[in-house]
């Protein structure tokens, strides 16, 4: 392949991911804290260091890791409608709480609606967010590893954005946390490459409890 073709392909992949995973892409991600609002209220997250630890646990042992596994299998099944349906059903069934399920399904629906300009593959009407992202990227031939790492980075950035408003933290603190999480993001992306759906699970119990407790939190800025 000529060098120019390689560069064009890489540039197309990056441009698409920048669009699909941008905070400006209309998935409503700014409205969700993934249980972080409760974690701030009860004192688990109070500064940049406790925020870094919280997000690292969610990425390594909780929904971040699970999302990466689901995304990878949706990417591989992008041309298989039956397989995609099975992955979408698994993603919805394994959510740890009502709000966590609503978060991923609502964002997935918003992503599918917004991504029609790129010709989405056939998906169930209610599809979890990582499944929708993986399926779209796979149908366009965007490299799976690149998609997984980019998704995890966007996931972490969204939680940091919520924490900047909730704790509150300065933007510079939030950026230091994001930089510190880079090796974690790359490690989780690497570790999930060979994972199967049977590997979905986790032990980020405090994060799961936070998502459950948020449902009855008295004052809330976020939907989860």
Q: What is the model's pLDDT at position 204?
A: 87
In a domain, 222, yes or no: no
Domain at 125, CATH number: 1.10.4190.10
Please indicate, yes or no, if residue 221 is contained in any of the structural domains. no
pLDDT value of position 12: 86
Is residue 77 within 8 Å of residue 87, measured between CB atoms?
yes
pLDDT digits (tens, 9 = 90+) for 53-91: 999 999 999 999 999 999 999 999 999 999 999 999 999
Q: Average the pLDDT over 216-222 and give the result.
A: 88
- For 179, phi then psi, to 5°, come to -65, -40
At 30-45, the pLDDT tens digits run 999 999 999 999 999 9
157 domain-assigned: yes
pTM of the model as a whole? 0.94
12 domain-assigned: no
Q: What is the pLDDT of residue 161?
A: 97
d(CA 75, CA 52): 29
Write down the mean pLDDT value for the chain: 93
* pLDDT given at position 1: 46
**The predicted structure's pLDDT at residue 5:** 53
Task: Provide the percentage of residues in the chain whose pLDDT is more than 90.
Answer: 82
Tens-digit pLDDT profile for residues 109-168: 999 999 999 988 989 888 999 999 999 999 999 999 999 999 999 999 999 999 999 999
Quote the domain boundaries for residue 171.
34-214
Asked, for residue 7, whether it belongs to a domain, the answer is no
Give the pLDDT band of residue 9 (cuts 50, 70, 90): low
- Number of domains, the chain: 1
Measured in degrees and rounded to the nearest 5, phi and psi for residue 192 equal -90, -5
- At 24, is the pLDDT very low, low, confident or very high (cuts 50, 70, 90)? very high
Helices (H), the chain: 3-20, 36-41, 48-61, 63-76, 81-93, 98-114, 129-139, 144-166, 171-180, 182-191, 205-214
């Amino acid at each position: 392949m000529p060098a120019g073709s390689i560069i064009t392909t890489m540039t197309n992949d990056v441009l698409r991911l920048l669009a699909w995973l941008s905070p400006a892409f209309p998935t409503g991600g700014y409205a969700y804290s993934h249980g972080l609002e409760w974690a701030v209220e009860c004192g688990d997250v109070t500064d940049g260091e406790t925020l870094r630890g919280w997000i690292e646990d969610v990425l390594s042992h909780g929904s971040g890791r699970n999302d990466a596994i689901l995304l990878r299998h949706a990417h591989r099944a992008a041309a298989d409608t039956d397989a995609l349906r099975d992955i979408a059903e698994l993603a919805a069934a394994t959510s740890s709480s009502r709000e966590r399920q609503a978060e991923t399904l609502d964002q997935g629906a918003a992503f599918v609606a917004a991504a029609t300009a790129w010709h989405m593959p056939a998906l169930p009407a209610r599809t979890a967010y990582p499944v929708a992202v993986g399926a779209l990227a796979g149908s366009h031939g965007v490299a799976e590893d690149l998609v997984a790492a980019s998704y995890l980075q966007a996931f972490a950035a969204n939680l940091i954005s919520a924490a900047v408003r909730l704790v509150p933290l300065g933007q510079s603190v939030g950026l230091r946390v994001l930089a510190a999480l880079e090796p974690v993001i790359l490690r989780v992306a690497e570790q999930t490459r060979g994972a199967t759906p049977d590997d979905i699970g986790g032990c980020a119990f405090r994060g799961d409890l936070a998502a459950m407790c948020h449902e009855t939190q008295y004052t809330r800025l976020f939907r989860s």
